Every structure is written in structure tokens, then in C-alpha cells.
Amino acid sequence: MADKVKKATLYRIKQIELAEAEYYKTLIATLDRIEREVVSVAGRLPLTDGKLVELQSAIAIRPQIKAILEREYLAWSDTVVREGFNKQAKRIEKAFKLIGNIPPEFQELTKGDKALIQNLKQQYFTQFKDVSNTFTRRLSEKVYQNTLVGSEFAVLEKELRQTINGIYASSDDPEITRLITYINRNQNSDNATIQAKVDKSVQTLQSKFARDRAGENMKRYAGQILNDSLRDFDATLNFNKSQDAGLTYVKYYGDVIPTTREICRNVINGVYNKRKSGLFTIDEVNSLWTSRSWKGKKSGNPLIVRGGYNCRHQWSYVNPDWYDSKGELII
């Protein structure tokens, strides 16, 4: 018999991944526009012998930078929150219907679910807005600081581009590309050997190529919030719907890859199993998460934050009566 719970959960996970890829692509285009516009605005600052000299103009540029980020980045953020969250809510509804064996009134999005969705939209949009405010300040400070010391415009331009899209956004140097790829792929690993190699790669970029630490830019922060907001929204709505439906047991799903955190790998592989079905009570999950620490762990409800930052796993909520004595799903 096909495992409907697994199928429904993997469907949710896959749809989140597809949505993230789609929105990340539009994020890249948005940040490229922001970079061009901010550099263009800065390019109108007065120069003397090719150097920035007028502090009053440097201070006055802040409202223009703020307007660019709000027009471009916050418009993109609104689309993610409004469109992306609505679509994922419908997918959760579809997953509940696929599983069945749940009171019909809880298979639909209830009035309470819809109120929660609106609250979550406001909560996560605030996080996106915080990024906009943070980088409005950072970009404005770059302009002011470079003007204060009389930098050449080329120096300011480089710093503005780096602050928005990162120094390593693109490069023709194959060694830089190799190091960036390795860092991005492995930066959340719990493996000490891999993490040591990541740190060494960052040091190489800093020293050999005279670059700042990888990822300290708007692209990274916005991408992180995109990743976590889609998954945390799914986990929060799924948690609340399941509690309303009286489902108090959970099972963990998702792929295990080389960078999977140890806690996630062990739960999925059955290391902590107390039942043949691989089910946990909510109290057991809370106890397990409380008793352990790991890199990237987030505070909060482990049923929502899961393995932490960038975690791609999800819990599914079930009734233990759905499983036989061998741990097989029988519904």
C-alpha cells in the first residue's frame, strides 16, 4: 500500500523547493536592478579631481536609496508573502485531503487557518522589511564614509555593488568560482572536517583575493529569509491545522544529503526511534531538541524551526492508529 502520509509530505517539500527556486530567480533580477539604480544615483554625486568631496550631498542620498529598495525589494517581498504563502496554504489543504482519515472540517482551510495566514504574512513581511531598512542604512553609510575620506568614485561603486550582490556574485576566475561553490554548498554542515575546509576557503578568498567574508551582502540575507519564511510558514500552518484536527504524533521527512545536520539525519534514519513506525509524540520531539545543540539551530518550537536555518525537512502529523504493529501505514 502506498504511503499517503509520505507522499503528501514530500509533495509539500517539493512544492516549497520549486517556489523557492522561482522566487530566488526573481530576487536576483530585483537585486541587479537595485545595484544599477543605486550606482546610478551615487554616480551623480559631485566630484573634485575624481574624488567624492561634498558631505551634504552624501547625506542627502539616503532617501533616494531608501526609495529604490522599497520600490524594488519590498515589491518583490510582497509578492513572495502574498502569492507564495497563499499557494503553499492551498498545497497544505491538498495534502490533508490526500491523506484523508481526518474530520472533513479540518481538511479545508478553516476561518482560524485564514486568520493565522494573515498574521504570518505580516510577521514575515516585517522580516523582509528589516532587510530593506538594514541595507538602506549600510549603503548610505558607504556613501557617507567614502565621501568623508575623499575616496575615488570607483572605490565607492565597488563597495555599493558588493554590499548589494556580494563580491562573489560572479567571477571569471575559476578558483574563485570553485571556492564560492564549495562555501555555499557546505557552510551549514555539522561535520567538523567539512566546516574546517569551509573556513579555510573563506580565508583564502579573504587573503589571496583580498575579498570580504562570503555572504555579507543583501543577496544572502534576502535569500535566507526567502528560504526560511516559505518553510517556516508551511511548518506553522501545518502544525496548527494538525493540532486542531487532534493529530499529536509526528514523523520526519526529507532527503538526507552530505550537508544534512546530524540531528535531522538521525531522526530520519531511525536512530532515535521508539516505535517501529518511526513516530514521535510532540513531547518526545521537544525533549530531543532541548537536549541537543548544533550549528544553525534556531530557537523556538522544534516542530516549526526543525533543524534550523536552511533546513529542508518537514514534520507530518499523524494518528498512531493509522499504523499496524509492524509500523506499516494501513489507511
163/42 Cα distance (integer angstroms): 14
Predicted local distance difference test score (pLDDT) of residue 188: 66
- Give the CA count within 13 Å in the CB-facing half-sphere of 227: 13
Tens of pLDDT along the chain (331 residues)? 578 999 999 999 999 999 999 999 999 999 999 999 999 999 999 999 989 999 999 999 999 999 999 999 999 999 999 999 999 999 999 999 988 888 888 889 999 999 999 999 999 999 999 999 999 999 999 999 999 999 999 999 989 999 998 864 445 567 777 887 787 778 767 777 887 888 787 667 655 554 444 457 999 899 999 999 999 999 999 999 999 999 999 999 999 998 899 999 999 999 999 899 999 999 999 999 999 999 999 999 999 999 998 899 999 999 999 999 999 998 8
pLDDT at 193: 85
CB within 8 Å of 187: residues ≥ 6 apart: 198, 215
Output the pLDDT for position 205. Answer: 65
pLDDT for res 305: 95
Q: What is the pLDDT of residue 210?
A: 42
Give the span between the Cα atoms of 8 and 34, in whole angstroms. Answer: 39
Instruction: Give the pLDDT score at 103.
Output: 84
Rg (CA), the chain: 23
pLDDT at 172: 57
Q: Quick one: pLDDT at residue 211?
A: 41
pLDDT in the model for residue 183:
78
pLDDT recorded at residue 212:
41
Residue listed under C-alpha cell 522580516 = 127
The one-letter amino acid at 22 = E
Sorted by sequence, the CB contacts under 8 Å of residue 285 that are 6+ apart come out as: 250, 302, 303, 315
What is the structure's pLDDT at 174? 76
What pLDDT does 20 receive?
94
The pLDDT score that the predictor gives to residue 167 is 62
Per-domain residue ranges of the chain: 4-166, 173-211, 248-322
